[in-house]
Amino acid sequence: MTNSLARPFRLPSPWRAGVILTALVLALPVLTVFGFVFQPAGEVWRHLADTVLKDYVLNSALLLLGVGLGTLFGGVASAWLCSMCQFPGRRMFEWALLLPMAMPAYIIAYTYTGMLDFAGPVQTGLRDLFGWSYGDYWFPEIRSLGGAIVMLSLVLYPYVYLLARAAFLEQSICVLEVGRTLRAGPWTGFFRIALPLARPAVIAGLSLALMEALADYGTVQYFGVATFTTGIFRTWFGLGDAAAAAQLAALMMSFVFILIVLERWSRRQARYHHTSGRYRHLPRYQLRGWRAVAAFGLCLLPLLFGFLLPAGQLLVWAVATAEKTLDAEFLRLVWHSLGLAGAAAVLAVLLGLFMAYGKRLRGSYGVAVAVRIAGMGYAVPGTVIAVGVLIPFAWIDNRIDAWMRASFDISTGLLLSGTLVALLFAYTVRFLAVSLQTVEAGLGKIKPSMDDAARSLGLPPNQVLTRIHMPIMRGSLLTALLLVFVDVLKELPATLILRPFNFNTLAVRAFELASDERLAESATAALAIVLVGIIPVILLSRSITRARPGHE
């Protein structure tokens, strides 16, 4: 794939230049914020180190560990069961397991707190039933680090599930059959063949989940867990110290960076594409008896707690408050949310495809680094990205304005700041990693010899992409589209800060009401996010199944 016959003093190819340029533009917000890193902030650091830094590091690390284990187990196990085994309900679980993805983390946190808190119906019911009062009994505290881990795992495991399932489905059955001839049973086949082969996809899903967990603000803030994200906010806005806040953000991102580097290092020279082009209908392991029950239960658990229960509660609230909340304005919110999410998804996938393919084509060190940097936005809290967009956009706008005033005595005002362009840009920066990771995982499974064959038959690089790669990895592309769509639908902080006048989305509405502790009234908007999110989830889940190579 790299052109080993390249002549030494060649000009950079348009691909390489394009990728690096795009990456730089997309890295602008993150770099803007990181620019503050070089401002001195010594005294605040001493204060932080003396008081709260230890908590930030410890809580964030524990949160990552917990969410990592939770999503890995939930996602991989359910993906394997749904793609390789046959048991009652499998066809339903195949798509239903994706549903929790449509649930914003802060909404599920508010909902469970409403149900499980000391003053909530569950505990009150227990107290009434047994005549207990405070201190007589033990009940898990929902608003704690443990609670935050459970909440985030419940809504983030679908990332692992989705990517792992796509990988299992794209795997050639031949390797598994070879495994069987070597006497590998179902378990060995899973642990020693399928899982290691699916590793890039599983890791891609996991790192998305972890980055999202690290960037989460709504849940940890509501639960009173001091993490890096809450710390960045306190430091930036409360203590008024942008430099120390940026340094905290840098420290936080180094967490992610170290994890990624470690993982890459452990893979080293391993390659994960398939060498056989033979695909057959997957013969699923038929599960019966207790095994079928266990599989059913295992798949039901995340679905029940990640979706059915909270959505049910939201529905009850929504019905109770529908009169107040459903009006023409509400339809506008739905339309705004859909439009933004759709536009951002297409944009992010196109850019992701461009960058991932550019990297495959011209896999130089510079390109690889550029692609990595462009994808960093995902681990940065939305508010930080938003401020990172705000500053350069306003700067450019004001520069143009100043120049126009000087030259023509006309004020152009703000051209891009406060428009949907700025908002879409912020979404792209924040969620490019999602499409990039997914597309890269998909491309990684296509043999380089395909490229070579296509090129030797005279196809130019861009046609190799559109005529060979894109059809092969349709599943991955659709997955990427879906992930970004749902993510943007749920996105809150950047939308809040960057949106134009008189422009609201479902997420803004749901959050405003919930944060004012009017949980029941926020339910209609929250439920609408979930419903709007479900439709593409189901549609795309079907396409992913159909997109399996060799599938008629």
Partner 1 sequence: MKTVLFSILLFLMPMFGSFALAAEVNLYSARQEALIKPLLDRFTEQTGIQVNLVSAKDDTLIKRLESEGRNSPADLLLTADAGRLHRASELGLLAPVESTVLEQRIPANYRDPEGHWFGLSLRARPILYARDRVDPEALSTYADLTDPRWKGRICIRSSDNIYNQSLVAARIATHGEADTEAWARGLVANFARPPRGGDRDQIKAVAAGQCDIAIANTYYLAAMLNDDQESERASAERLAVFWPDQDGSGVHVNVSGIGLTTAARNREQALRLMEFLVSDEAQRWYADSNHEYPVVEGVEASDTLKAWGTFKPDGINLSELGRYNADALRLMDRVGWR
In the region spanning residues 491 to 550, those forming contacts with partner 1, defined by CB under 8 A, are: 493, 496-504, 508-509, 512-513, 515-517, 520
**DSSP letter string over 78-97?**
HHHHHHHEE-TTHHHHHHHT
Q: Using alpha carbons only, what angle is made at residue 262 by residues 260 and 263, rounded to the nearest 5 degrees?
A: 65
- Judged by CB under 8 A, which of 14, 125, 196, 240 binds partner 1? 240
Q: What's the CA gap between 54 and 61, in Å, rounded?
A: 11
Tokens linked to 65: 């560990």
The residue among 72 and 108 lying less far from partner 1, judged by its C-beta, is: 108
Q: What's the CA gap between 216 and 233, in Å, rounded?
A: 12
Least distance between partner 1 and beta carbon 146 (Å):
13
- Judged by CB under 8 A, which of 233, 255, 307, 357 binds partner 1? 233
Q: What's the CA gap between 431 and 344, in Å, rounded?
A: 9
Question: Looking only at residues 406 through 435 of this chain, which bind partner 1 when binding is defined by CB under 8 A?
Answer: 407-408, 411-419, 421
The residue among 232 and 481 lying less far from partner 1, judged by its C-beta, is: 232
Least distance between partner 1 and beta carbon 281 (Å):
52
Q: Per rule CB under 8 A, is residue 224 in the interface with partner 1?
A: yes
> Considering only CA atoms, which of 237, 23, 368, 323 is closest in space to residue 246?
237
The residue among 406 and 457 lying less far from partner 1, judged by its C-beta, is: 406
- Judged by CB under 8 A, which of 292, 304, 394, 450 binds partner 1? 394
Query: Which distant-in-sequence residues (6+ apart) come within 8 Å of 191 by Cβ?
Result: none
Q: What's the CA gap between 422 and 433, in Å, rounded?
A: 18
- Judged by CB under 8 A, which of 1, 122, 250, 400 binds partner 1? 400
Q: What's the CA gap between 168 and 150, in Å, rounded?
A: 26
Q: What's the CA gap between 30 and 27, in Å, rounded?
A: 5
Chain center to CA of 103: 12
Question: Looking only at residues 117 through 176 of this chain, which bind partner 1 when binding is defined by CB under 8 A?
Answer: 117-119, 121, 123-124, 127, 133-134, 143-144
Q: Which residue stretch of 18-26, 305-313, 385-393, 539-547 sits at the interface with partner 1 (rule: CB under 8 A)? A: 385-393
Look-up of token digits 């306003």: 394
Taking the alpha carbons at both ends of the chain, their separation in whole angstroms is: 30
Exposed e or buried b for every residue in 114-137, given b needs 16+ CB within 10 A?
A: bebbeeeeebeeebeeeeeeeeee
Within 10 Å of residue 98's Cβ, how many Cβ atoms?
Answer: 27
Number of residues interacting with partner 1: please give it, by CB under 8 A. Answer: 75
Least distance between partner 1 and beta carbon 410 (Å):
8
Question: Looking only at residues 168 through 207 of this chain, which bind partner 1 when binding is defined by CB under 8 A?
Answer: none
Least distance between partner 1 and beta carbon 238 (Å):
4
- Judged by CB under 8 A, which of 45, 146, 304, 401 binds partner 1? 401
Least distance between partner 1 and beta carbon 321 (Å):
8
- Judged by CB under 8 A, which of 195, 251, 309, 391 binds partner 1? 391
Least distance between partner 1 and beta carbon 85 (Å):
41
> Considering only CA atoms, which of 143, 504, 82 is closest in space to residue 285?
82
Q: Per rule CB under 8 A, is residue 386 in the interface with partner 1?
A: yes
Q: How many helices (H) and strands (E) does the chain have?
A: 27, 2
Least distance between partner 1 and beta carbon 514 (Å):
10
Least distance between partner 1 and beta carbon 191 (Å):
40
Beta bridge partners of 285: 85
The residue among 47 and 474 lying less far from partner 1, judged by its C-beta, is: 47
Residues 172, 274 contacting (CB under 8 angstroms)? yes
CA distances from 424 to 134, 211, 345, 380, 430 (A): 49, 20, 10, 16, 10
Q: Which residue stretch of 19-27, 155-163, 358-366, 404-412 sits at the interface with partner 1 (rule: CB under 8 A)? A: 404-412
Give the per-residue contact string, 434-473, with partner 1 (x = CB under 8 A; - = no): ----------------------------------------
The residue among 38 and 237 lying less far from partner 1, judged by its C-beta, is: 237
Within 10 Å of residue 178's Cβ, how many Cβ atoms?
Answer: 13
Q: What's the CA gap between 346 and 352, in Å, rounded?
A: 10
- Judged by CB under 8 A, which of 130, 139, 191, 237 binds partner 1? 237
- Judged by CB under 8 A, which of 88, 196, 238, 471 binds partner 1? 238
Q: Per rule CB under 8 A, is residue 354 in the interface with partner 1?
A: no
Least distance between partner 1 and beta carbon 512 (Å):
4
Least distance between partner 1 and beta carbon 278 (Å):
53
Give the per-residue contact string, 314-353, with partner 1 (x = CB under 8 A; - = no): ------xx--------------------------------
Chain center to CA of 77: 19
Residues 318, 470 contacting (CB under 8 angstroms)? no
The residue among 452 and 516 lying less far from partner 1, judged by its C-beta, is: 516
Question: Looking only at residues 48 through 77 of this chain, which bind partner 1 when binding is defined by CB under 8 A?
Answer: 48, 50-52, 55
